[in-house]
Every structure is written in C-alpha cells, then in structure tokens.
Structure 1
C-alpha cells in the first residue's frame, strides 16, 4: 500500500492513477494550440482513423497480411504517418510561432495524407502501391508517391533546423526532438535504398516483390521502421520527464542515455540489414551493441516509471490547489 495525498491506495489504484497521469500528459503534449498545429493534428487524426478502419476491414476480409497487395499497407502507413503528424504537433508546441511555420506543417500534413491516400487507393484497386511500374496509371502513382516522400523529408529537415536554431522546450526535450528527427531522415535514406532494391527486382523479374531485403536476408523494412519511430519513443520519455520528477540536469543525463541507447539499437539493426543478415541472426558485435542499446532505453523507461508515484502526488497537489 502507498499513500498519496494522505489516502492509502492499492497497487491497482496506483497503476490506474499513473496511467491517467501519463495519458493526460501525452494528450497535453500533442494538443494543438495554433492553426498550424490544428492542421497537423487533424491530418494525423484522419490518418489514424483510416488505419483503424482498415484494420477492421483486414480482420473481416481474412486476406493475407503480408504481400505486395495487402491491407497491411493502409493500416501500417496510416498509423505511422498519423503518429508522425501528432509528433510534429508536439515538436511545434515547443517552437516559436512563426508565419512560415505553415511551410513545414503543410508539407508534412498534406504529404502524409496524399501518400497514405495513394497507398490505400491502390489496395482497393487490387494493385501494388510500391515499385509498381506498370504502364500509365500505376507507374504514375508510384512516381507521385516518391515525389511526395521527398517533400515530407524536406519538412522534417525544416523542423530539425528550426529545433536547432530556436527551441523553447526543456533541454531534455530538445535532445529527444533533434535525435528523433535525425533518425527519421536516416530512415528516409534507407527507404530510398529500399525503393531502388524493389525497382531492381521488378526490372529483373517483371513482378513486384512481396518484401524488400538488402542482400540475402537483410530486413530493410525493420531498419526503416526503427528509424521512423525514434521520435515517438524518445518523445514519450521526454513527456514523462516533463513531469519534473528529477532535476533538469538529471533529465538531460537520462535523455542522453536513451538517445545513445536508441542510436545503438538503430545502428545495430541497420548494420545487420545492410550486411544481408536476418535481424534474428546478426554478427556478434552488432548484436551486443543492439542489446546494450535496447537495455539502456528500457532502463530509462524504468527510472521514469518508478518515479511516477511522485509525479502523481505532485499532480494531485497541483489540482487541489
């Protein structure tokens, strides 16, 4: 039993309170307050809703989850671009309001919606969305998708430069944002490598591959995904640290450890992929580096989680006041 605010709580009550505080903090972090942020938020909401709807369609259809033409793509890409748009709202919440902020916000929000819309349309048409070089329409769709991704990458680069030049959040959050945006750009580079590999397979075989690998069995998809979602992992930690549990200096140290750990994990997965090895059978040193990196990230999450009861007490006290 633990006492919060003079009233003893059971373990389940503490867990429920902790979850409530965390969800409240996350919502507060991504809640839009300007027109630019609202635009991004609604783009993200639309994409997340699309991903959820197509998850239901996939469950009802009983079609294969894998393959060049599957419901997996509308679901995964909808969810991924949706959380990216909401993560960008969190980033913009910590940047000064500028009129030209519409440029990265519009490019990211519109580009994400267009990209997912094209992927979704191709699935409903029964055609492959990626690497599809059939004459006329399908080839044009694939070409537009490639151009849109470049615009999204440009928007991410603008957010990165903006965060480096003028950031108004905590030092720990700034580290998370810069590292997360850098990881997305590296992930984009891997994605363009995947596009080249996929097109090479089409040229050689005349068919769109079910999946793209580097070398014999390198999981390009996993390496791309790990980089794409670093901003969410590190951002969640930054939100947890934003409860002001440890000192500002301790927050920076913890975030730095998490960034180094996540970077090590990302490097391990990417190195293994480019070596043409499956992620389940990496070479010795990449495996050790990846395990150490994952352990560091988990350790920081544990430190933040163990301090949550103190954050709950402070939250309750602030509300009572």
Structure 2
C-alpha cells in the first residue's frame, strides 16, 4: 500500500478535501468581483481613452482590480497549506478581503473623480483617501508578513515542492511589500516638501520590481500543484519546482537591479 511522503496536517487537508467554508467562498467571490471591476474599467478605458500611464489614468483601477482580486483568491488557496488555526486563518482572510475592497474602491473612486489616488494632498478629501490607502497598505504588509512568518516557522503541507514553493513565494512577496513601502515613503517625503509632481513620478523605477515579486506566491505554488497532477516522481517534481524558484528569483533580481540603476 502506497504511503504519501509529504507531511500532513489535518486542518489543512480538510480544507482541500471538503467544500469551501463560507469565509473562503466569500473571499473567492470578492476576489472575482475585484477582477471583474478591473476588466470593466479596461472597457471604460477603451471607450473613454486618455493616458494609460501617469497618476491619473484608467490603468490604476484596471491593474489594481485585477491584481488585488487575483491575490485575494490566491492567498485564500495557498493559506490552506499553512499550519495555522482555522479560526485565525478565517479572521485574517476576512480582514485581508475587506482591505482589498477598500484599496481598490479608493483607487477606483479617485479615477472616476479624475484625480490621483496616491500621494494626493490637494484637498482634505483627497488627503483622507490617500491616507486611507496608505493605512490599508500597512495592514496588508502586516497580514502578509504574518502569513510569511507562519510558512517558515512550521513547514507547510502539500505535495512535493509545495513547501518550497510557498516559502519562496512568501519570501519574494516580502520584496513586493518592501518595494511598495519604499514607493509610498519616498512619495510622501516629496509631497511633504512641496514636490507633488515629482512624488507622482518617483514610483516608476520600483513598479516593475513590485509587480514581478507580487505574484510569486501564486505562480510557484500553482507550479507545485500542477506537477502533483502528473505522473512524475516526487524527486523530479521537486527539482522542477526548485528550478522554477531559481528562474523567478532571477527575474526579481533583474527587476531589482533595474530599479537600483534608475531610482
């Protein structure tokens, strides 16, 4: 009788063996709505036109809707492999989902108003929106860092390569969080010193690094999961995941070098 060699954790396995819990269904539905919002604003851009880049464009509700929606769905899935209490995981996912809605909602609102969403202190309302987005970003950093710490403190469950994929994905995600924090910090300093336009453009060098590193926590675990559906042996699957981590890490390093040279 064959026995699986990867570590098992009852709560994580039960997440995948049973129907989704209400909180998970809610997170998936919320993520899907955010994705649809991003796609809808892509249609708005096609109809309305205007610049794709810059502090005021339809690009922001498109990219943020898609990115936050995919990230929420991905995080709901990958955290099922973490060794964390189900109630705590549910609570953290609920906060994360709410924060995603606030972030995308604020960005979308400002796009429809025709004003920048981030680093905008022109009016009291714009300041309130900008600060809300900044605080929401801080909440995201805390939550995602917490999940990353859990992944390293206790080995995640799953098929061959999943533990490596998750830990690598969360480690690379921390790069995305750090680059995002750096963009906000630099922009706030420039705004506070009276260089508003410079603040809007100061984030450009770090955007590729931020974007590339943001979705490793989805791509790498997805690779491990897809390989688990094949007939490849566990050692082979682990080697492929290791190679995938190396390639993704190289892409992040490349984006980091580019950011350093242009920052």
- In the alignment, what sits opposite 2:40? 53
Question: Number of residues paired by the alignment?
Answer: 244
The one of 184, 193, 197 equivalent to 1:195 is 184
- How far residue 136 of structure 1 moved from its aligned partner, in angstroms, is 1.1
Q: Does 1:105 align with 2:93?
A: yes
- Over 3 Å counting, the alpha-carbon distance change for 1:181 and 1:32 in structure 2 is farther
Unpaired runs of 5+ residues, structure 2, are: 1-15
Q: Which has the larger radius of gyration?
A: 1
- In the alignment, what sits opposite 1:243? 229
Alignment of 1:2-151 (within 5 A): 33-95=20-82, 98-151=86-139
Supply the distance in 2 between the matched residues of 1:160 and 1:205 (Cα, whole angstroms). 36
SS at match of 2:120: coil
Contact in 2 for aligned 1:104/1:159 (Cα 8 Å)? no
Contact in 2 for aligned 1:104/1:158 (Cα 8 Å)? no
- How far residue 85 of structure 1 moved from its aligned partner, in angstroms, is 0.7
Supply the distance in 1 between the matched residues of 2:68 and 2:216 (Cα, whole angstroms). 13
Supply the distance in 2 between the matched residues of 1:92 and 1:112 (Cα, whole angstroms). 17
Supply the distance in 1 between the matched residues of 2:250 and 2:19 (Cα, whole angstroms). 33
Contact in 2 for aligned 1:66/1:210 (Cα 8 Å)? no
- In the alignment, what sits opposite 2:262? 276
The one of 143, 150, 157 equivalent to 1:168 is 157
Deviates more, 1:119-128 or 1:231-240: 231-240
TM-score by structure 2 length?
0.85
Contact in 2 for aligned 1:32/1:93 (Cα 8 Å)? no
Supply the distance in 2 between the matched residues of 1:90 and 1:235 (Cα, whole angstroms). 10
SS at match of 2:156: coil
- How far residue 56 of structure 1 moved from its aligned partner, in angstroms, is 0.7
- In the alignment, what sits opposite 1:185? 174
Contact in 1 for aligned 2:173/2:215 (Cα 8 Å)? yes
